[in-house]
Chain A
Amino acid sequence: MDILYLLVPLSVVLVFLIGAVLWLALHGGQFDDLESPALRVLADDDGAEKPGRGV
């Protein structure tokens, strides 16, 4: 069970690391707009739509 002395502090460090990554993502604006990026994925191929053939 001695491994716990390594693993438990390691898990604490890991949580702090994940927290830091989330923090960076948050302040980089990743969560500012949760609606329009969904559409960006749906229609991302620039060349596929020829003029006049939209719908």
Chain B
Amino acid sequence: MNSRCFHCGEPVPAAARYRVDVGGRWEPVCCAGCEAVASAILGRGLGAYYRLRDAPAGAPQPDSGELELWDDPAVQGAFVRRHETSCEALLLIEGMRCPACAWLGERAIAACPGVHAVSVNYATHTATLRWDSDRVRLSELLRAVREIGYRASPFDSSRASAVGRAERRAALARICVAGLGSMQVMMYAVPAYLAGEGEMAVDIASLMRWASLALTLPVVAYSAWPFFSGAWRDLRAARLGMDVPVALGIAVAFGASVAATFRGAGAVYFDSVAMFVFLLLVGRYFEILARQRAAGALRHLGRLVPEFASRLRDFPRSLEPERVAVAQLRAGEVVLVRPGETFPADGVVEQGAGAASEALVSGEARPVAKSPGSTVVAGSGNLANPLFVRVTRVGPDTVLSSIVRLAERAAAEKPRLIRLADRTATWFIASVIGLAAIAGYFWGAAEPARAIPTVVAVLVATCPCALSLSAPIALTVAVGEFARGGIVVAKGHAVEMLARADDVVFDKTGTLTHGELALKDVAVHSDVPRERCLQIAAALEAASEHPIGRALAGESGGLRADEIHCRPGSGVEARVDGVRYRIGALAFAAGLRPGPTRREDPPEDTVVWLGAESGLLASFRLGDELRGEAREALAALRDLGVHVHLLSGDRESAVREAARRLDLGTVEAGAGPERKQQYVASLQRRGRVVAMVGDGINDAPVLAQADVSLAMGGGARLAQLRADAVIVSQDLRELPRAIAHARRTLKIVGQNIAWAFVYNVLVLPLALAGALTPWAAALGMSASSLVVALNALRLERAPRRGPGASPARLART
């Protein structure tokens, strides 16, 4: 159990015998999938990936096996643009963990013949691809990506990523203009600051002013546009936002300077204006980046709908399905959904009766019966029989899409901390504008030449930007850092509550364990060797969709089974190398050789028997294995001073066993959803802040009761969205890291608010007294905002945490 998979970093199960050849050394890998992917990567000479990456690879993405359908021009339709000699498409690549993945994907595609150009963008997880359709088919390129462990699918470029890119580009363009402008205007301003009274020739001074005006105009008209439009929006909504004094300050300073330039006399503040705009924009850019990163991670979660569907053109007359891309489906068409498939769109059952698992969408774990007339939802799974479904809603209109949108909105909602800072800022802004007006009035009466500089100084210097920025920047940086560690924050308050959590309550199944059956132990009952038994079992179960079958379907060593007969409820019978075998329940497996069979005590785990005509060969003990990193994660949590509880609906003995292996004291077994909720509520009544970690389906009520809830990413995927955060990486060690990180974030928010407050209180009297020139005010205010932003960015520069890094140590730094 000590060794970790060379490819994905997961612990290697004791029973696994997978290896890859890395330059003559044999490194262990955890499963056949990782073995295939790692060999593909090394075989293509791309082993440098393992040196370059800074995060372990994700588990290999399953292959839908229907990539050839993408070669059909009708299916390619909207996804592929055709030129005379080449095709162009945008691919969405799923499973990328670090920039090295982008490098790897690019290399793998570029190595295919007939590829003209490919570039993988790590920021958006997309690839732009141009290829020669005569020399290579699209499916071959998609397969090349799947072979190295990612999932690529053509992507309609008109969707979300284009919006994000446009926003980023516009923000960068504004920064460029403001940055260039402020640098050069500063040059023109220096002589005026250095020269004494009357030392500068009047026409040279005028030249400098006009040159400054020419360069500041684009800064104000283009770069500062978001501040003006924001201020206008606030005023129309009868609110006072941070943009109002900013826009007012820029407008007053710029207007006065333009007037002075035309008059040819008086002071100009072009340099202050340009610098002010530039520094403010830089702060906002960081915010945009952090926000987009968090949103992108969410979008990937929503991709549950399959790529292809079986459409029946003339449904009642012919039942001959054709495979089409889901994007081609229209409302009113009929599709066939086989058992085990996912419904591609919302619809109504036309023919057939069966059951669907809607846990993904509704959180309901039990199968829902379906008969003609009942509605089905895209993203849910068909469990029992083939169903003919008339499509009612497709694509963005489906229930699934609306749930994803809901989650996106939740991600954008402002947490309490930010609302508090905003409210304080509103109150503050009103006083600042009032004070500026009063100061302008008095200075205008006493010394008219100093009225405008004073008003500008008051407006600019005391703008509570630092106050307004303090919490959002720190929180967005934290959210970005969480996402990098594999935790997607879906609700704004998650960071704050994680930092305050005193108790973490875990569910067992699917949280501390993998939530699926895995091979624990093999007992051999004849002279057939263990390896051989495993291979026969794998061959028998190769086609199985049953959870038990999947646990056993591994490396069959080239063995193939034929004459496969599935006996529901008993097992599988098939012929391998001419010998008949049975795998399944004891009585069934022993049935090939009539006679008395041994009796076993009913064990805690599921046991599957392999039998032949010669007798029983082996038994496989299957169980829900504890996650390899669970123990380490819990120890790290205790180091942080957090109390850990285990609540489970499972049998007492299984829970005790898990608790013993994890060194857990506080345990409750046999707890139903209601009991779990009471348990958490009673902790809360004692004044504890409770974080709940579950798989997101049957523990939805308790997740809602907890102050902050987390779901494991592998569970029912959409139900996760009811949790405040999702552990997408499925690595429990991320949890203590996240808590340590959240605590640091909260500390930094506190520092920022204190700093912003002290700065504003100190600078206000100076500005009112007219002791601050506008440039000094702009510098002071911008410096104060930058201090806040940089302080928040310290969170991002936290040491890159290797697997062994102690979160407790991180928390103290």
Contact = CB atoms under 8 A, between A and B. Distances in A.
Contacts of B99: 35-36, 38-39
Contacts of B120: 36
Given A4-B204, A43-B48, A31 B172 contact: yes
Interface string A16-51: 001100110011000111111011101100100111
Interface string B178-206: 00110010011000000000000100100
A23 B176 contact: yes
A54 B207 contact: no
Contact of A51 (B44, B100, B122): B44
Contacts, number: 111
Interface in B640-695: none
B214 A54 contact: no
B134 to A, nearest CB: 24
B177 A19 contact: yes
B51 interface: yes
Interface size class of A (residues with CB under 8 A): 20 to 34
B225 interface: no
B758 to A, nearest CB: 35
A8 B207 contact: yes
Interface in B41-76: 41-52
Contacts of A23: 173, 176
Given A8-B188, A19-B177, A36 B51 contact: no
A5 to B, nearest CB: 7
B180 A19 contact: yes
A52 B176 contact: no
Contacts of A53: 23-24, 47
A6 to B, nearest CB: 11
Given A8-B208, A34-B123, A52 B52 contact: no
B176 A54 contact: no
B168 interface: yes
A36 B45 contact: no
B43 A40 contact: no
Contacts of A27: 169
Given A34-B123, A52-B23, A26 B103 contact: no
B536 interface: no
B746 interface: no
Contacts of A12: 184, 211, 214-215
A10 to B, nearest CB: 10
A32 B168 contact: yes
A43 to B, nearest CB: 4
A22 B181 CA distance: 13
A45 to B, nearest CB: 9
Contacts of B52: 39, 42-43
Given A1-B201, A23-B176, A39-B99, A15 B123 contact: no
B21 interface: yes
A55 B46 CA distance: 9
A53 to B, nearest CB: 4
B794 interface: no
B121 A33 contact: yes
Contacts of B44: 51
Given A27-B169, A51-B42, A55-B22, A36 B180 contact: no
A38 B50 CA distance: 16
Contacts of B172: 26, 31
Contacts of A15: 180-181, 184, 215
A49 B48 contact: yes
B587 to A, nearest CB: 48
Contacts of A9: 211
B45 A54 contact: yes
Given A1-B204, A32-B123, A36-B99, A52 B177 contact: no
Interface centre among A22, A34, A50, A55 (most CB of B within 10 A): A55
Contacts of B106: 36, 40
B43 A52 contact: yes
Contacts of B100: 39
A4 B24 CA distance: 70
Given A19-B218, A27-B169, A49-B48, 11 more contacts: A1-B204, A5-B207, A11-B187, A22-B180, A26-B169, A32-B123, A33-B123, A38-B99, A51-B44, A52-B42, A52-B47
Sorted from nearest, which 10 A-B pairs have the closest CB atoms? A54-B47, A36-B102, A53-B23, A49-B45, A35-B99, A36-B122, A36-B99, A43-B48, A33-B121, A39-B103
9 contacts: A32-B124, A35-B99, A39-B100, A40-B103, A52-B21, A52-B24, A52-B43, A54-B23, A54-B47
